[in-house]
Amino acid sequence: MVCAGRTDTGVHATGQVVHFDTSSERSRRGWLLGANSSLPNDISVTWVKPVDDDFHARFSATARSYRYRIINRLERSALYRERAWWVYEPLDANAMHAAARQLLGRHDFSAFRAAGCQASTAEREISRIAVQREGDWITLTVTANAFLQHMVRNIAGTLVAIGLGERDFEWVGEVLQSKDRKAGGIAAPPHGLTLVSVDYPASFEIPPAVDYGPFAAGC
C-alpha cells in the first residue's frame, strides 16, 4: 500500500490518497464497504476507483496542501482539543500572513526540516501560503510540490512567534536564509495539522478532496 504522503503521529488527513495492486475483482461499492468494515473507526475510505498501472499515489502527485488550525482565545476548547493548537495570547494574523509570504517560491527549507528528515534535498517550492483569521480561528494554508518532515509544523511555530510580537515579520526570511533549524521557532503541535488535498494530472481523473466537519474553513 502506497500513500501520497506520510503524516506524523497526531496529524490528520481529509485528502490522503492511497494506491495498491490487486488481482481481486470487486465492484467499487464492494471495495469501499469492505475496506471500511476492516478499518479502525478513525480511518474511513471515501471513494475508490481503478487506475492505470502508471499511476502512483506518491510519485504521480504534483502538489500537496496542508492546513494548520489555531484556536486563539482565552479559554481552551473541549471539542477541538485534538484538532487545533490552543494559543490563549492574542495573535496578529496580519503580521503572520505578511511573514509567511516570504516563503513563496523555490527555496532551500533546511531551517524548517526535522533533524531526522531523510529527504535527499531540502529544496521545495511553495506555490501558495496564507494565514487568515475567522473569529477565534487562525488558519495557515500551504501548498507545495512536496514537504519535508515537520516542515509545516515548524513554519507554524515560527509564525506564531511573530503573531505574539516576539519577533518582527522579517524574521522568517532570516530563518529561511540561515538554513539552520535552530534559528527558527518551535515545532507546532501535530494535532493542529491536516493534509487536505493532493493534486494529480487531470488524465488520472482523481476525485477532488472534500473538507469535512471541524477541518473545514470557518468552523
Q: Which residues are catalytic?
A: 8
In contact, 217 and 196? CB cutoff 8 Å: no
Residue-wise DSSP of the chain: -EESS---TT-EESS--EE--------HHHHHHHHHHHS-TT----------TT--TTTT--EEEEEEEEE-SSSPPSTTTTTSEE--S---HHHHHHHHGGG-EEEE-GGGS-TT---S--EEEEEEEEEEEETTEEEEEEEES---TTHHHHHHHHHHHHHTTSS-TTHHHHHHHHT-GGGS-PPPPGGGEEEEEEE--GGG-PPPP---GGGSTT-
